[in-house]
């Protein structure tokens, strides 16, 4: 009964807040309730809306509830600026006393701690005075109509339309009121936009004219396109970049002028691009690299330099203490004697030298003499030993848990710019047991490894190849590690070694990894109940128990990540990411005597695995986005594997980064029906591994207020096996029925986005459940007012850190 009282109280509070949006306004004050933009056809409607300075408060549909205003009102109830000012004045007086005491006696630790705390309290009070308390800062005030802001928005829209080719556009804003609510409508008449008829360049330098003419196809100003003034700024920067990539070291965009001629009859414009001469010469100079020097200075002024100078590949190297590889450094320098100055090569040199993670900074300076340049690259070594300790929270399946990590880094380990790393990580998370349903169980994990990172492909490439691959940040990693996982149903230990090649394109949009060797010696200890379950499955013809035998798992794998338009970094433009992964397990078995494994009672696995993961992010404006993901994976055991994979190589579905309407790893496979209890619900005690996975996720995200975001999502997918499973009827993939076995879940999500951290709560609800009989699989209609979450187990809550994709 008490719970119902609380629920009723919250409902009444929400309704009161919804009804009170326009309450409390003074006479002649109106709440901006709705803003409409009409008449936009060819212009960017979203960009125009963003120019409007007054927009309505975000409201929840139907109930008309404004959460931001609600929070601000809560904060206003207890906010008293006079008391905060008094408290601040008292603390400032106390701070002055503490300052004097510390001047008289600097060694008083207690007084110093109090001084630091007082400073912190004063800063907090200053923030409260300026921006209000936490509730007021998190929420937002009511948007009260301001006619001056409406006029200013009207002008900004007009400027925007003119700057985007709508020279004859007209903008008129109208305001109507109803009660205490204001409705603003911006009426726009675009008229025909002006198109670019011709665009040409004028320059007295034939070389510049020729360079720009060759690259004309990449220009931002093209005939028969709408005139956009911002494209002139882009073109000015583009011309500067092109010329500075062709030897024009002193050229800048200040030498570029544009003249735009309008034809009001044909609605056309002609754009003239004028390249002006330099002040003290008849033409812009083309510069050639005369010499290149690379200097590593002392890391600080206390340690005196012990310089060692040498020549390599027509470059001068001056090293602090002389224990760096000229050959490796030279492979990351793309400035060569006799070449024309090229700004792109300068930036690439700076980027690749920084990627070595050996130097604190990389400065490139130039001295000019006539038409020649002397390039000076100056660096200073980073701290040789670096220790990093981290304490935080992570989540892989269900509930976040704490972790501690420690890493030790030794730079320039062998004198060839190698990096030695010692890593340790211990974590505790909440996961669902593989053999129990409901509740959260502890999963303890410990990882430790030692590795050496070489800034080159160590075999079988020569010096010529080293220089050719330098632009791709080549790395070779040799690693030896130990992993320990303690879950409710098993304990698993693994000793692993990895030899891998890594490289990336210059813009880092394409990253590649090739693991020549990934070898693991694995030992498992099973919980009695889990062992009993696996033996029961074995008696029925399922050999999953073999996945937990002491084993040697080796593989060769490759991965490619192609990042289109910087996916994950910028959220205001279209971006996508494709990840491809291929793995061949047990390939080395063909080169090792079978007796080697038999003598050591080690199980061995041969398998092929492929996975493709496609993600796309589409902004729908400044406050909303649409994102989707498609994931396809295949894992096929063969040879001596006895039809099973190592447990970690299986696919699973369900959970916070999969179909969120199912518990972690409990979805599928296929139309397999779990044990049905007496109350008609399914027994989801056991994890369900599969060899085929297909899943897709769609998510609409919208900013609510402050750092709170909301989401609506639809997840679909399932896992399957290649062959029929005697213990799981309907688990195998068949073309004539797989489309009927696509599980669908939907739901809502709430996120707190702090930029550096995203906390996520998702509620998924089963909409189509392939585990049920055909004709009964659509279960979304089981939600109603009496059962808003449907049948028991139909709704699943997921907590996560970061976005699901």
For residue 395, the model assigns a pLDDT of 64
Q: What is the mean pLDDT of residues 72-99?
A: 88
**Residue located via tokens 């009070």:** 125
CA atoms of 619 and 50, how far apart (whole Å): 14
For residue 70, the model assigns a pLDDT of 83
Q: For 672-691, give the DSSP string.
A: --PPB-TTS-B---B---BS
Q: Are 767 and 620 in contact (CB under 8 A)?
A: no
Residue 728 has pLDDT above 50, yes or no: yes
Residue 438 has pLDDT above 90, yes or no: no
For residue 653, the model assigns a pLDDT of 94
For residue 235, the model assigns a pLDDT of 93
For residue 597, the model assigns a pLDDT of 64
Of 98, 97, 126, nearest to 112 by C-alpha is 98
Of 130, 129, 134, nearest to 84 by C-alpha is 129
Tens digit of each residue's pLDDT (9 = 90 or more) over 597-610:
666 677 888 899 99
Q: Are 419 and 357 in contact (CB under 8 A)?
A: yes
Q: Are 398 and 431 in contact (CB under 8 A)?
A: yes
Q: Are 800 and 689 in contact (CB under 8 A)?
A: no
Look at strands 490-504 and 315-320 and give their pairing.
Answer: unpaired
- Residue 656 phi, psi (nearest 5): -70, -20
Of 157, 143, 153, nearest to 44 by C-alpha is 157
Buried b (16+ CB within 10 A) or exposed e, 417-449: bbbbbebebebbbbbbbbbebeeebebebebeb
CA atoms of 262 and 257, how far apart (whole Å): 17
Q: What is the mean pLDDT of residues 669-684?
A: 83
Nearest 5°: CA angle at 718, between 738 and 556?
A: 105
Residue 64 has pLDDT above 80, yes or no: no
- The dihedral over CA atoms of 102, 104, 110, 112, expressed in degrees to the nearest 10, equals 10
Residue 18 has pLDDT above 50, yes or no: no
Q: CA-CA distances (angstroms) from residue 690 to 245, 506, 607, 723?
A: 53, 38, 14, 11
For residue 458, the model assigns a pLDDT of 84
**Higher pLDDT, residue 685 or 339:** 339
Residue 305 has pLDDT above 60, yes or no: no
For residue 579, the model assigns a pLDDT of 96
**Residue located via tokens 């190849």:** 465
Look at strands 372-381 and 385-394 and give their pairing.
Answer: unpaired
CA atoms of 770 and 734, how far apart (whole Å): 14
Evaluate the omega torsion of the peptide bond into residue 669 and state whether it is cis, within 30 degrees of 0: yes
CA atoms of 616 and 59, how far apart (whole Å): 28
Helix (H, G, I), strand (E, B) or coil at 7: helix
For residue 529, the model assigns a pLDDT of 83
For residue 439, the model assigns a pLDDT of 55
Mean pLDDT, all residues of the chain: 86
Tens digit of each residue's pLDDT (9 = 90 or more) over 127-144:
888 888 888 888 888 899
**Higher pLDDT, residue 508 or 237:** 237
**Out of 280-284, 390-394, 631-635, 708-712, least confident range:** 390-394
Residue 741 has pLDDT above 80, yes or no: yes
Q: Among 71-85, 178-192, 308-322, which range has the highest average pLDDT?
A: 178-192
pTM over 0.85: no
Tens digit of each residue's pLDDT (9 = 90 or more) over 585-596:
987 665 565 666
For residue 418, the model assigns a pLDDT of 93
Beta strand segments in 679-757, E = 692-705, 708-720, 743-753
Q: What is the mean pLDDT of residues 216-234?
A: 88
Q: Among 14-18, 377-381, 549-553, 640-644, which range has the highest average pLDDT?
A: 377-381
For residue 551, give the H/E element and its range.
strand 551-564
Residue 1 has pLDDT above 50, yes or no: no
Tens digit of each residue's pLDDT (9 = 90 or more) over 259-287:
999 998 899 999 999 999 888 888 899 99
Give residue 9's pLDDT band: very low, low, confident or very high (50, 70, 90). Answer: very low
Tens digit of each residue's pLDDT (9 = 90 or more) over 150-198:
999 999 999 999 999 999 999 999 999 988 899 999 999 999 999 999 9
Residue 462 has pLDDT above 80, yes or no: no
Q: Are 798 and 761 in contact (CB under 8 A)?
A: yes
Residue 539 has pLDDT above 90, yes or no: no
CA atoms of 247 and 242, how far apart (whole Å): 9
764, HSE (Cβ side, Cα atoms, 13 Å): 29
């Amino acid at each position: 009964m008490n719970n119902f009282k609380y629920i009723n109280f919250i409902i009444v509070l929400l309704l009161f807040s919804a009804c009170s949006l326009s309450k409390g306004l003074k006479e002649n004050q109106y709440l901006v309730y709705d803003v409409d933009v009409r008449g936009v056809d060819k212009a960017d409607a979203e960009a125009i809306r963003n120019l409007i300075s007054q927009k309505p408060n975000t409201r929840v549909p139907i109930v008309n509830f404004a959460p931001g205003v609600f929070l601000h009102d809560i904060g206003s109830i207890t906010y008293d600026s006079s008391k905060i000012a008094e408290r601040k004045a008292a603390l400032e007086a106390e701070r002055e006393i503490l300052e004097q005491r510390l001047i008289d006696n600097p060694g008083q630790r207690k007084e110093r701690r109090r001084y630091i705390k007082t400073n912190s309290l004063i800063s907090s009070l200053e923030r409260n005075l300026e921006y209000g308390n936490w509730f007021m800062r998190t929420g937002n005030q009511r948007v009260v109509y301001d006619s001056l802001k409406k006029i200013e928005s009207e002008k900004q829209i007009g400027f925007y339309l003119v700057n985007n080719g709508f020279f004859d556009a007209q903008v008129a804003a109208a305001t109507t009121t109803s009660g205490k609510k204001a409705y603003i409508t911006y009426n726009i008449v675009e008229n025909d936009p002006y198109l670019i008829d011709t665009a040409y360049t004028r320059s007295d330098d034939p070389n510049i004219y020729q360079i720009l003419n060759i690259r004309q196809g990449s220009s931002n100003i093209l005939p028969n396109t709408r005139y956009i003034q911002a494209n002139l700024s882009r073109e000015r920067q583009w011309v500067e970049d092109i010329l500075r990539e062709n030897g024009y070291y002193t050229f800048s965009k200040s030498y570029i002028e544009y003249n735009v001629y309008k034809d009001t009859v044909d609605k056309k414009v002609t754009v003239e691009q004028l390249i002006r001469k330099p002040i003290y010469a008849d033409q812009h100079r083309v510069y050639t690299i005369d010499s290149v020097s690379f200097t590593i200075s002392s890391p600080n002024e206390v340690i005196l330099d012990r310089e060692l100078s040498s020549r390599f590949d027509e470059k001068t190297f001056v090293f602090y203490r002389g224990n760096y590889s000229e050959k490796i450094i030279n492979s990351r320098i793309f400035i060569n004697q006799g070449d024309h100055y090229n700004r792109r090569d300068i930036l690439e040199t700076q980027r690749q030298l920084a990627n070595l993670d050996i130097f604190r900074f990389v400065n490139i300076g130039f001295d000019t003499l006539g038409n020649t340049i002397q390039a000076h690259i100056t660096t200073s070594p980073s701290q040789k030993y670096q220790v990093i300790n981290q304490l935080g929270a992570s989540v892989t399946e269900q509930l976040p848990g704490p972790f501690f990590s420690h890493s030790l880094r030794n730079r320039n380990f062998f004198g060839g710019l190698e990096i030695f790393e010692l890593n340790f990580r211990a974590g505790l998370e909440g996961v669902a047991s593989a053999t129990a349903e409901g509740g959260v169980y502890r999963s303890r994990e410990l990882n430790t490894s030692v590795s050496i990172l070489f800034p080159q492909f160590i075999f079988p490439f020569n010096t010529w190849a080293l220089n050719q691959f330098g632009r791709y940040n080549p790395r070779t990693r040799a690693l030896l590690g130990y992993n320990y996982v303690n879950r409710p149903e098993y304990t698993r230990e693994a000793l692993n070694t990895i030899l891998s090649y890594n490289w990336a394109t210059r813009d880092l949009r394409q990253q590649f990894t090739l693991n020549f060797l990934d070898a693991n010696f694995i030992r498992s200890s099973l919980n009695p109940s889990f062992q009993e379950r696996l033996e029961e499955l074995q008696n029925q013809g399922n050999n999953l128990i073999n996945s937990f035998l002491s084993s040697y798992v080796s593989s060769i794998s490759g991965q490619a990540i192609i990042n289109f338009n910087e996916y994950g970094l910028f959220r205001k433009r279209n971006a996508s990411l494709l990840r491809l992964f291929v793995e061949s397990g047990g390939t080395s078995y063909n080169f090792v005597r079978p007796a080697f494994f038999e003598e050591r009672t080690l199980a061995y696995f041969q398998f092929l695995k492929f996975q493709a993961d496609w993600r796309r992010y589409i902004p729908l404006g400044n406050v909303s986005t649409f994102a989707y993901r498609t994931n396809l994976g295949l894992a096929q055991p063969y040879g001596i594997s006895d039809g099973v994979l190592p447990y970690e190589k299986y696919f699973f579905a369900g959970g916070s980064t999969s179909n969120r309407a199912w518990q972690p790893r409990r979805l599928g496979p296929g139309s397999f029906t779990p044990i049905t209890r007496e109350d008609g619900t399914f027994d989801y005690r056991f994890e369900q591994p599969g060899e085929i996975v297909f899943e897709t996720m769609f998510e609409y995200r919208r900013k609510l207020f402050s750092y709170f975001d909301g989401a609506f999502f639809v997840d679909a997918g399932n896992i399957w096996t290649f062959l029929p499973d005697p213990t799981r009827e309907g688990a195998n993939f068949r073309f004539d029925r797989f489309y009927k076995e696509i599980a669908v879940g939907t739901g809502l999500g709430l996120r707190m986005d702090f930029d550096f951290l995203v906390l996520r709560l998702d509620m998924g609800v089963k909409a189509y459940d392939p585990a049920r009989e055909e004709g009964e699989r659509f279960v979304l209609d089981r939600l109603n007012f009496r059962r808003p979450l449907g049948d028991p187990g139909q709704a699943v809550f997921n907590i996560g850190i970061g976005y699901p994709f």
